[in-house]
């Protein structure tokens, strides 16, 4: 399990939603302290890689996938990642990325905080994409 956590961390945002969810579960529930420690390190790496991908000028699929990974991190997502999701929600030109950012903030729920709630309110009223408005 330790090596699995380390491997997922090396994948960064390519670990995907399932990898992020597995790391979060290992971090919270594994009885072995070493596994929990490695899962925490891997979560930090996945979060950093996902934020970098979301802020990059990569293909919209890559940026959208990065947003979805951040949505799996629940209450450990961190304010910097929430800021990246908010910026993607409010300033991203590509509707695919905005859609994934909105869905991710919805998964985060209260962990998105006031900043996330404000972005959702703005998107629900002003976004040009009906799907984004509806999800917000």
pLDDT digits (tens, 9 = 90+) for 104-122: 999 999 999 999 999 999 9
pLDDT reported for residue 91: 94
Residues 8-57: tens digit of each pLDDT: 999 999 999 999 999 999 999 999 999 999 999 999 999 999 999 999 99
Backbone angles phi, psi at 62, to 5 degrees: -65, -45
CB 71 within 8 A of CB 107: yes
Residues 53-96: tens digit of each pLDDT: 999 999 999 999 999 999 999 889 999 999 999 999 999 999 99
Give CA torsion, residues 36, 41, 43, 45, to 10 deg.
-170
Exposure of 110 by Cβ count < 10 A (0-12 exposed, 13-18 middle, 19+ buried)? exposed
pTM above 0.85, yes or no: yes
């Amino acid at each position: 399990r330790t090596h699995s956590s380390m491997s997922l961390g090396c994948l960064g945002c390519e670990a995907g939603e399932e990898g992020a969810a597995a790391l979060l579960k290992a971090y919270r529930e594994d009885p072995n302290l070493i596994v929990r420690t490695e899962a925490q390190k891997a979560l930090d790496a996945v979060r950093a890689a996902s934020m970098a991908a979301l802020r990059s000028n990569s293909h919209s699929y890559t940026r959208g996938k990065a947003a979805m990974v951040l949505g799996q991190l629940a209450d450990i997502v961190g304010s910097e990642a929430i800021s990246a999701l908010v910026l993607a929600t409010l300033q991203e030109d590509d509707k695919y990325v905005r859609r994934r950012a909105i869905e991710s903030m919805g998964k985060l729920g209260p962990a998105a905080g006031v900043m996330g709630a404000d972005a959702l309110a703005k998107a629900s009223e002003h976004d040009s994409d009906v799907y984004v408005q509806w999800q917000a």
